[in-house]
């Protein structure tokens, strides 16, 4: 049976990464591309075959124990894989969209002298993400969780000779470590209660933890989720992560890292359903994040940062869906978002390359005339992002909004805020479109001959189709979560988000079509929004500067002086003992007799 080959899927990118590492400096760029992209293509083909068999068998859960890993007494950990409908969807997104991104990356990075190192990181990234979603125990999940964090650090700072790139990579690594620490504590709490790390046993155990313990364990898991998925209050790393190459941005935002938090909550959702208010907290986190990201995106001038904030906003909708008990809709939106967000980032990358690495949208313009095909792809991706009816984003986002209205607590309030977020999405999306694709061109560019354009265009075509039609394939996620269907809303409630998006289009047209007349004005409000609503400013004063002050205070090794004293004491004692080793037999004899006398005297005194 094809499912017996499941372990080959994560093994392919891992082997490719190892081979590229071992053959460093010995391969030509074309050989690197064939190995890096080819391994992903084989993984995608195998995923397709396993997926066909999986759904023909009605989505039957499959467990595969590859080998015994950690022989912990009473709770052994196997290197095992778990395939159900949730992990099947996640694997398909990671491998399918990831393969297209790798294909695109081969063209984007072809002339880079470090292309081999780049694909080592990229394929290792995919392997770690596959371990995260396929692992049947918390150890494998956490291994993949930390693996994607490490690979994101390496890829964001890939061009390490630029200090800003290094700072962005360090920021992503440190901020996400805060969430990872919370998650690790939560996992240890679960292990201490259930005495197992096997995920199906934990989520399916009828024995409920103490309410307080479970509440804290779930809250700590949420802490890990908000770190990886860039939600409030650990969202500040994501916009700066645009320092990495554009294929990295596409992989992080569409197929891997930022979806990890959504997967974690969806996978562990039976625990979240057992305690009150946790999912309500998740819903509020997502709602506040989508509004924050929407406001910040309104004033960004870097095309990649606009898309980064849009990712933060769309992940917020997924968190809102999870909090509204619409786990099926949240995963559905995760899937459709992967289609149009990969399309948007890769199209943006094509524009950046053709404009000689220009990323400022106000230095673009008129691209519908000079780059009609690329601009059409950008338009399709933005329409799906805005959730225009008929696109893939429409079906998944509307499902989340419908579930939110019927949420057990604060449903109408959260729904209203989410609809306002849809309005903001429309404004900043069409602002981007009007500024980049209309008006006066600043660069004399053209699509180029087919041999050049095809390297960038061909991987985008499947994403264009999926961005338009991906939502029509309504996968039956109810089989995963068994929560029942959400009833339809009244017509006026279904039309309200569409009206909000239309109003956003009209406002963007009024302000930015064909081009804004005054873009250089930067008031306090614009500066505040440009900086992500002041979170970096706040964290710098609450955390960074106090730590730097402590470091400067400790410049003279005040704290280390205690450790230095211990070292000095041990060295001094060692010198005294060395003095006693003088090589004289008579001295040793006297010392032995003296020691014996002291021991005898001590025994007599003790009695």
Say if residue 395 is in the same domain as residue 411.
Answer: yes
Could you tell me the CA-to-CA distances from 287 to 194, 229, 337 in Å, in that order?
Answer: 33, 14, 17
- Domain range for residue 597? 561-606
From the list 166, 169, 87, 155, the residue with the least C-alpha distance to 123 is: 155
Gyration radius of the chain over CA positions: 28
From the list 454, 472, 460, the residue with the least C-alpha distance to 377 is: 460
Given 465, 497, 519, which residue is the final one in a domain? 519
**Residue 535 in tokens:** 């979170």
Predicted local distance difference test score (pLDDT) of residue 229? 92
Percent of the chain residues topping a pLDDT of 70: 90
Q: 67: helix, coil or strand? A: strand
Say if residue 357 is in the same domain as residue 432.
Answer: yes
Confidence of residue 3 (pLDDT cuts 50, 70, 90): confident
Predicted local distance difference test score (pLDDT) of residue 464? 94
> Could you check whether the bond before residue 577 is cis, i.e. omega within 30 degrees of 0?
no
Over residues 222-231, mean pLDDT: 93
Contact 425, 313 (CB under 8 A): yes
Q: Rounded to whole angstroms, how far apart are CA atoms 44 and 342?
A: 16
Does a structural domain hold residue 513? yes
Over residues 151-170, mean pLDDT: 90
Predicted local distance difference test score (pLDDT) of residue 330? 93
Does a structural domain hold residue 436? yes
Which residues have a Cβ under 8 Å from the Cβ of 180 and sit 6 or more positions away? 145, 146, 149, 224, 227, 228
Predicted local distance difference test score (pLDDT) of residue 520? 46
- Cα-based torsion angle of the residue sequence 99, 102, 103, 108 in order, rounded to the nearest 10 degrees: 160
Confidence of residue 544 (pLDDT cuts 50, 70, 90): confident
Q: Rounded to whole angstroms, how far apart are CA atoms 455 and 187?
A: 44
Average pLDDT, rounded, for the chain = 86
Q: Rounded to whole angstroms, how far apart are CA atoms 492 and 387?
A: 17
Say if residue 469 is in the same domain as residue 496.
Answer: yes
Does a structural domain hold residue 21? no
Predicted local distance difference test score (pLDDT) of residue 209? 66
Counting every residue written for the chain, the total comes to: 607
Say if residue 542 is in the same domain as residue 588.
Answer: no
Predicted local distance difference test score (pLDDT) of residue 484? 47
Task: For residue 77, give the H/E element and its range.
Answer: strand 77-83
Say if residue 575 is in the same domain as residue 594.
Answer: yes
Predicted local distance difference test score (pLDDT) of residue 462? 93
Predicted local distance difference test score (pLDDT) of residue 555? 62
Q: Rounded to whole angstroms, how far apart are CA atoms 242 and 259?
A: 17
Antiparallel, parallel or unpaired: β 77-83 and 62-70:
antiparallel
**Residue 300 in tokens:** 């960004």
User: How far is CA 389 from its chain centroid?
Assistant: 28
From the list 21, 91, 108, the residue with the least C-alpha distance to 334 is: 91
Say if residue 418 is in the same domain as residue 490.
Answer: yes
Say if residue 530 is in the same domain as residue 574.
Answer: no
Say if residue 451 is in the same domain as residue 585.
Answer: no
Over residues 60-76, mean pLDDT: 76
Does a structural domain hold residue 153? no
Q: Which is more confident, 574 or 135?
A: 135
Q: Rounded to whole angstroms, how far apart are CA atoms 508 and 526?
A: 16
Over residues 48-65, mean pLDDT: 87
Contact 347, 354 (CB under 8 A): no
Whether 294 has a pLDDT exceeding 60, the answer reads yes
Angle of the 372-386 helix axis to the 450-457 helix axis, nearest 10: 10
pLDDT, tens digit, for every residue of 26-41?
Answer: 888 899 999 999 999 9
Bridge partners (DSSP) listed for residue 82: 63
Torsions phi, psi of 392, nearest 5?
-65, -40
Say if residue 506 is in the same domain as residue 566.
Answer: no
Does a structural domain hold residue 334? yes
Angle of the 98-108 helix axis to the 115-134 helix axis, nearest 10: 170
Does a structural domain hold residue 429? yes
Say if residue 576 is in the same domain as residue 510.
Answer: no
SS (H, E, C) 541-592: HHHHHHHHHHHHHHHHCCCHHHHHHHHHHHHHHHHHHHHHCCCCHHHHHHHH
Whether 132 has a pLDDT exceeding 90, the answer reads yes
The residue behind tokens 């003790």 is 606
Bridge partners (DSSP) listed for residue 70: 77
Does a structural domain hold residue 316? no
Q: Rounded to whole angstroms, how far apart are CA atoms 257 and 90?
A: 12
Predicted local distance difference test score (pLDDT) of residue 559? 64
Say if residue 468 is in the same domain as residue 531.
Answer: no
| Number of domains within the chain | 3
Rounded to a whole number of angstroms, the distance between the first and last alpha carbons of the chain is 78
Does a structural domain hold residue 539? yes
Other Cβ atoms less than 10 A from the Cβ of 66: the count is 13
Q: Rounded to whole angstroms, how far apart are CA atoms 95 and 456?
A: 19
Say if residue 571 is in the same domain as residue 428.
Answer: no
Whether 263 has a pLDDT exceeding 90, the answer reads yes
Whether 517 has a pLDDT exceeding 70, the answer reads no
């Amino acid at each position: 049976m094809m499912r017996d080959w499941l372990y080959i899927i994560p093994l392919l990118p891992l082997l490719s990464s190892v081979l590229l590492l071992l053959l460093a400096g010995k391969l030509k760029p074309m050989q690197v591309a064939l190995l890096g992209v080819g391994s992903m293509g084989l993984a995608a083909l195998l995923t397709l075959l396993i997926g066909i068999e999986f759904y023909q068998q009605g989505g039957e859960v499959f467990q595969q124990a590859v080998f015994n890993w950690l022989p912990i007494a009473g709770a052994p950990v196997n290197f095992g894989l778990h395939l159900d409908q949730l992990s099947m969807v996640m694997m398909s997104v990671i491998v399918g969209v990831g393969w297209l991104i790798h294909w695109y990356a081969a063209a984007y990075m072809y002339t880079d002298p470090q292309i081999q190192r780049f694909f080592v990181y990229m394929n290792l990234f995919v392997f770690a993400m596959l371990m995260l979603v396929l692992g049947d125990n918390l150890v494998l999940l956490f291994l993949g969780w930390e693996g994607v964090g490490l690979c994101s650090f390496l890829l964001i700072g890939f061009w390490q000779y630029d200090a800003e790139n290094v700072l962005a990579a360090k920021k992503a690594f440190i901020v996400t470590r805060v969430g990872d620490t919370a998650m690790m504590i939560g996992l240890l709490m679960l292990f201490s209660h259930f005495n197992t790390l096997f995920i199906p046993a934990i989520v399916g155990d009828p024995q409920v933890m103490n309410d307080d313990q479970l509440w804290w364990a779930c809250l700590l898991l949420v802490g890990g989720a908000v770190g990886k998925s860039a939600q409030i209050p650990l969202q500040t790393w994501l916009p700066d992560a645009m320092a990495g190459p554009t294929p990295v941005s596409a992989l992080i935002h569409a197929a891997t890292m930022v979806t990890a938090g959504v997967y974690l909550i969806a996978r562990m959702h039976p625990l979240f359903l057992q305690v009150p208010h946790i999912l309500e907290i998740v819903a509020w986190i997502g709602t506040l994040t989508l509004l924050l990201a929407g406001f910040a995106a309104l004033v960004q001038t870097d095309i990649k940062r606009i898309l980064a904030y849009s990712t933060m906003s769309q992940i917020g909708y997924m968190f809102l869906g999870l909090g509204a008990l619409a786990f099926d809709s949240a995963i559905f939106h995760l899937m459709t978002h992967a289609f149009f967000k990969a399309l948007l980032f890769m199209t943006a990358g094509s524009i950046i390359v053709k404009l000689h690495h220009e990323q400022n949208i106000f230095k673009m313009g008129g691209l519908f005339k000079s780059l009609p095909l690329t601009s059409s792809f950008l338009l399709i991706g933005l329409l799906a992002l805005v959730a225009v009816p008929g696109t893939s984003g429409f079906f998944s986002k509307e499902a989340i909004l419908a579930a939110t209205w019927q949420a057990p607590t604060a449903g109408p309030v959260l729904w209203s805020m989410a609809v306002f977020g849809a309005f903001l999405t429309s404004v900043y999306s069409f602002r981007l479109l009007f500024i980049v694709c209309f008006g006066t061109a600043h660069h004399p560019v053209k699509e180029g001959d087919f041999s050049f354009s095809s390297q960038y265009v061909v991987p985008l075509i499947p994403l264009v189709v999926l961005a338009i039609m991906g939502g029509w394939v309504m996968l039956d996620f109810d089989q995963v979560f068994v929560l029942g269907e959400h009833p339809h809303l009244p017509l006026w409630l279904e039309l309200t988000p569409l009206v909000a998006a239309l109003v956003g289009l009209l406002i963007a047209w009024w302000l930015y079509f064909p081009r804004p007349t005054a873009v250089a004005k930067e008031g306090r409000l614009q500066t505040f929004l440009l900086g992500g609503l002041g979170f970096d400013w706040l964290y710098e004063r609450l955390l960074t500067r106090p730590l730097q002050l402590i470091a400067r205070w400790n410049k003279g090794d005040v704290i280390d002086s205690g450790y230095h004293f211990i070292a000095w004491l041990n060295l001094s004692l060692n010198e005294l003992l060395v003095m006693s080793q003088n090589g004289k037999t008579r001295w040793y004899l006297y010392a032995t007799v003296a020691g014996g006398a002291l021991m005898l005297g001590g025994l007599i005194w003790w009695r």
